[in-house]
Structure 1
Amino acid sequence: MMDHRTLFLSIILLPWMLSSAAKNRFLEVKKPKNEIVTISDYDTLGDSDTSPVAGASTDDSELPTCLLCVCLTGSVYCEEVSPEMTAVPALPKETAYLYARYNKITKITNKDFADVATLRRIDLTGNLISEIEDGAFAKLTLLEELTLAENRLAKLPMLPAKLISFNANFNRLKTKGVKSTAFKKLDKLSYLYLGNNELEAIPPLPESLRIVHLYRNNIATISDQTFCKTNDTHYIRANMEEVRLDGNPLLLAEHPKSFLCLRALPIGNYH
């Protein structure tokens, strides 16, 4: 009786068990591989191809500047950058306005602005600039405003022809460091700020000037031709609105003919 029962179980159950095992193995083989999803570590997302830093559409040459500074359309703001900025940064193309104030820039080279001919305004106030190579601004044909106040300049380079405003207050400019043609040919220059320097003479000034600040220098004398034309008694310097000569070792009362062509007397010491 036991043999028949065993035979019965073997005939009925064994095929069923084998069929079930085979089915399970079949399902294992067919199991989709993508059911196991690997989630990226958040700490490594910045290194992915889709991050702003590594994206293929981003110009790598512009990244350092625009990570350290604020880059808006046409404008770059690099003020009091940390870590310290010791040189003019590489600028995105088509930059029109650069503000790199209060950093540790020491020198401006001919290469710094060679590829950014679109610049209209540069402000480098409060750096440590003691040297500017003579052709540093040569290609900036659109530059209208240049501010180099609060630096360590003893001489000036050649300036762009279309400048409207130039500010070099609080430097170490000396007369021998300012060429006689430095401003004379700038026929659009309206605002010239050279206060708190070491100038001993007033350089030739363009007719276009409206405001000139020369306060707190070492200017001890001026001539009748500094502002006027001695051979033309009817000449009036129509554009000039303000001349500041206060803080110089200069007694203006000793040079009355020097101001006959001006609409207003210079600000300074008359007694």
Structure 2
Amino acid sequence: MVFLPADEPDDAPASELPTCLLCVCLTGSVYCEEVVPEMTAVPTLPKETAYFYARYNKINKITNKDFAEIVTLKRIDLTGNLISEIQDGAFSKLTLLEELNLAENHLVKLPMLPGKLTTFNANHNQLKTKGVKANAFKKLRQLVNLFLGDNKLEAVPVIPESVRIIHLQNNNITDVTSETFCNGNNTYYVRPNLIEVRLDGNPVLLSKSPDSFTCLKSLPVGQYR
């Protein structure tokens, strides 16, 4: 519930209201969830913000100025918005960011991601392989959880060694190879960290590539017959 001062009209645009009037501001945290009136852009955040939640609004774009001065951010959750564009460099200054949730939006491509991410969630978007740069995740050496389910990916992206859980269910992935999860012809290579792989709901028949999973502790979830 949002309480407006007596001299503010009930239908004032969200962009014209102070952030901590629209949202709940606690020490280091800002909660802007299902804001009324509609929130269509990232609001101006207090500079000490570490945790920002703006789920289920109508934010449609992330600019390279939205978080440029909020270098203290550790978690951003923008689930359930209308985001179709994220400008290059939008997250480039967020050197402390560990969790980024962009699920349930309209993204067709990903920007460069911060190097210290441990969890990245882009489930339920419109991502295709051409919209995900080859090194989008490769350099994220602390990444543990990677969620890319319910998109339009045609191939499995390069997965950092640190990843423990990857969800790729309900995409358009048609093929996996010995390089997808393992290390080609190196039969001694073992990947101990990767404990959960979801490939269900893809057109790929995993039983055609049994040698592709020899380095894993368990077989991926998906279609085998």
- Residue 201 of structure 1 deviates from its aligned partner by 0.5
Instruction: Give the Cα–Cα distance (whole angstroms) in 2 for the partners of residues 46 and 134 of structure 1.
Output: 41
- Residue 232 of structure 1 deviates from its aligned partner by 1.6
Preserved CA contact (<8 Å) 2:64 2:91: yes
1:260 to 195, 214, 218: 214
Preserved CA contact (<8 Å) 2:178 2:185: no
1:131 to 85, 104, 109: 85
Unmatched runs of 5 consecutive residues or more in structure 2 = 8-16
Unmatched runs of 5 consecutive residues or more in structure 1 = 1-44, 48-62
Larger RCO: 1 or 2 (CA < 8 Å, sep 6+): 2
Instruction: Give the Cα–Cα distance (whole angstroms) in 2 for the partners of residues 204 and 115 of structure 1.
Output: 31
* Deviation sequence 1:41-94 (CA, Å, 0-9, x none): xxxx978xxxxxxxxxxxxxxx71000000000000000000000000100011
1:100 to 54, 60, 80: 54
The percent identity for this pair of structures is 71
**Cα RMSD between the aligned structures?**
1.6
Q: TM-score, normalised by structure 1?
A: 0.77
More helix by share: 1
The amino acid of 1:258's aligned partner reads S
Instruction: Give the Cα–Cα distance (whole angstroms) in 1 for the partners of residues 18 and 105 of structure 2.
Output: 25
1:187 to 128, 138, 141: 141
Instruction: Give the Cα–Cα distance (whole angstroms) in 1 for the partners of residues 217 and 185 of structure 2.
Output: 18
The amino acid of 1:65's aligned partner reads T
Aligned length: 214
2:65 to 104, 111, 114: 111
Mapping of residues 1-271 of structure 1, within 5 Å: 64-271=18-225
Secondary structure of the residue that 1:220 maps to in structure 2? coil
Instruction: Give the Cα–Cα distance (whole angstroms) in 1 for the partners of residues 100 and 162 of structure 2.
Output: 17
Instruction: Give the Cα–Cα distance (whole angstroms) in 2 for the partners of residues 200 and 239 of structure 1.
Output: 24
Instruction: Give the Cα–Cα distance (whole angstroms) in 2 for the partners of residues 243 and 222 of structure 1.
Output: 12
Secondary structure of the residue that 1:122 maps to in structure 2? strand
